[in-house]
Chain A
Amino acid sequence: MKVGKVVGTVVSTISIPVLDRHRLLLCDIEDVEGSPSGYTIAVDVVDAGVGDKVLILDEGSSARQILGLEWGAIRAVVVGVVDELVIDGMTRT
């Protein structure tokens, strides 16, 4: 899993059926310093919002398990909202 930050949302009417009804979040993937090192579009299952620091799962079979799917082209899922990170004893929010 990776830590990231929700920076936006993606609206899509036409998509593959397994993505219907799911919110799509545009998330920066952050390094340990909090600097963005790329982005991903992830399915939201925790009602995260823009500005939230989040935990991003980027692995297909776990993503399908969370969404109760036997198969489907879903890989990135926002699975948690981060309250704080503790790095080298320093707390970061």
Chain B
Amino acid sequence: MQLGRVMGRVVATEKVVGLEGVRFLIVQPLDKSQVPKGGTLVAADAVSMAGPGELVYFVASREAAEALPERFVPVDHAIVGIVDDVYLEEE
């Protein structure tokens, strides 16, 4: 799982069967120090309550499709939790 910052949301009415009602958010992946790393991606919101500006963690690949109530839907990134705090050992 990786850290990410929610940048916005994607509104799509017409979707593949199984994705109805699923929220899609634009996420900026972060490194462990919460510095943006790489391009933004679109992730399904499996906790249904992540919002813009929030620090979240997400899972990628096949496991993302197991995060939603409807299993094995075509999803490649899913937000699986909202971060309260990150305790990072001082380097």
User: What is A's interface to B at a CB cutoff of 8 Å?
Assistant: 7-16, 19, 24, 26, 28, 39-42, 50-51, 60, 71-76
Query: In the complex, are the beta carbons of A11 and B85 less than 8 A apart?
Result: yes
Alpha-carbon separation in the docked complex, A8 to B61 (Å):
24
Contacts of A16 in B (CB 8 A): 46-47, 67, 80-81
- Please report whether the interface of chain B is mostly helix, strand, loop or mixed according to DSSP: mixed
Query: In the complex, are the beta carbons of B81 and A19 less than 8 A apart?
Result: yes
Interface residues of B in 48-80 (CB under 8 A from A): 49, 57, 59, 61-64, 66-67, 71, 78, 80
Given A41-B1, A41-B3, A50-B89: A8 in contact with B66 (beta carbons within 8 A): no
Query: In the complex, are the beta carbons of B78 and A51 less than 8 A apart?
Result: no
- Please report whether the interface of chain A is mostly helix, strand, loop or mixed according to DSSP: strand
The 8 residue pairs across chains A and B that have the minimum distance between CB atoms: A15-B81, A73-B67, A8-B88, A41-B1, A12-B81, A14-B82, A11-B85, A75-B63
- CB of B86 closer than 8 Å to a CB of A: yes
